[in-house]
Amino acid sequence: MTIKDEAVKVRQGEELNIEAVEKFIKENIPDLCGSLEVEQYPGGFSNLTYLVKLKDSVSGMTREMVLRRPPIGAKIKSAHDMVREYRILSSIYPVFPYCPKPLACSEDESIMGCSFYVMEKISGIILRKDIPSGLDFSPAQVRQLCEKLVDLHLDLHAIDVKATGLDFIGKPQGYVERQVKGWSERYRKAKTPDAPDFETVISWLEDKKQPDTDRPALIHNDYKFDNVVLHPDVMLPADMSKNSDKPVEIIGVLDWEMATCGDPLMDLGSSLAYWVEKDDPPESQALRSMPTYIDGAMTRREIVERYGQKSGRDMENFDFYYCFGLFRLAVIAQQIYKRFHQGFTKDKRFGMLVFAVKLLENMALKVMEQSKL
């Protein structure tokens, strides 16, 4: 396992039209020359992400950029709107330095059959399921990283939507109701014969849905460890590992495709759906995709308490937001699984997602059983 997020050979069936992409990039991003090199980032389950390289004609150095496009066979336009994501980055980048710099966007489907965009590459470390060998955090560093993750989420939620020109991004009025209704409809459309029906969870969410917040905010909708970039200097020599007090710094936030304006507690609930703790049962551990279980990591309860204390928001009914987050994650997994089920992708990881959907239903039912709502 490598420390840095490495691109690899492009998966079969997900190749780019090299000649057309190279022509577009050179025409829209200045001072680039040479032959285009393309690799693919293997992580993630949604949009396809590629590392593209061309030579900088001024410095003579290789310039690395990132190209994003919708997944092959995706029919959920609202969830894979590249032009919208590019507009969001263009508005946020000037006021939120953790956002990648957008470079160029195309709606010309003759290039690769879909819209796509190119952005700067933020070079650093992205944490996946386990901490890679060669990178060793002390419990104090893990705690610090978790606190910074929560605090940066708060900073994101504090961005002035109107002042940044993000009025187009969404309508906060009726947001919670629309989310429950919309994700319920998406699940029913994506359901396959081998998937659970989730109707008990849907009914509970409809019955317990919370009123609109009086403090709507810009929300990321996919904010988690593997969508933030750590400063590369966090890499520690082996002889310093457990004894180092080197600070852990977040330098980037990625994947803004689902960003909108709405209730920030819905955003937090969606984030915590991914947060698997050390003491969670084995069935929950099977869903873990990030190193949230290691010594020093905050618990979900601690995160909710810190968020509430720093934001001044009422967290009493957070069970609803967390249950919704689990359901929403199940819908995303089921939508991806359906593409595999229908043969649109050969990525073997997707074939296992139906089991994750079943586990998420059980987790949501447990939240409902223990909730005081």
The strand pair at 217-219 and 116-120 is best described as unpaired
Tell me how far the alpha carbon of residue 160 is from its chain's centroid: 21
CATH number, position 172: 3.90.1200.10
CATH number, position 91: 3.30.200.20
- Token reading at 322: 């967390």
Q: Is 196 a domain residue?
A: yes
Q: Is 126 a domain residue?
A: no
Residue ranges of the chain with pLDDT lower than 50? 1, 76, 236-243
Residue 76 confidence (pLDDT): 47
Do 116 and 77 share a structural domain? yes
Do 145 and 101 share a structural domain? no
Do 264 and 179 share a structural domain? yes
CA distance 206 to 181: 8
| 93, 120, 147 - which closes a domain | 120
Residue 246 confidence (pLDDT): 62
Do 334 and 197 share a structural domain? yes
Q: Is 128 a domain residue?
A: no
> How many Cα atoms within 13 Å fall on the side-chain side of residue 371?
20
Do 218 and 112 share a structural domain? no
Do 258 and 293 share a structural domain? yes
User: Could you give phi then psi for residue 196, rounded to 5 degrees?
Assistant: -70, 160
- Cβ distance 96 to 159 under 8 Å? yes
Residue 241 confidence (pLDDT): 46
Mean pLDDT, the chain, rounded, equals 90
User: Could you give phi then psi for residue 87, rounded to 5 degrees?
Assistant: -65, -40
Residue 344 confidence (pLDDT): 77
Residue 238 confidence (pLDDT): 42
Residue 3 confidence (pLDDT): 58
Sign of torsion over alpha carbons 83, 88, 91, 92 = negative
- Cβ distance 32 to 56 under 8 Å? yes
| Number of domains observed in the structure of the chain | 2
CA distance 3 to 365: 37
CA distance 301 to 150: 12
Do 148 and 55 share a structural domain? no
Residue with tokens 């009086």: 214
- Cβ distance 184 to 178 under 8 Å? no
Do 105 and 25 share a structural domain? yes
| 87, 120, 153 - which closes a domain | 120
> How many Cα atoms within 13 Å fall on the side-chain side of residue 196?
22
DSSP annotation of 8 reads: B
Do 309 and 199 share a structural domain? yes
Do 83 and 163 share a structural domain? no
The boundaries of the domain holding residue 26 are 18-120
Residue 240 confidence (pLDDT): 45
Q: Is 8 a domain residue?
A: no
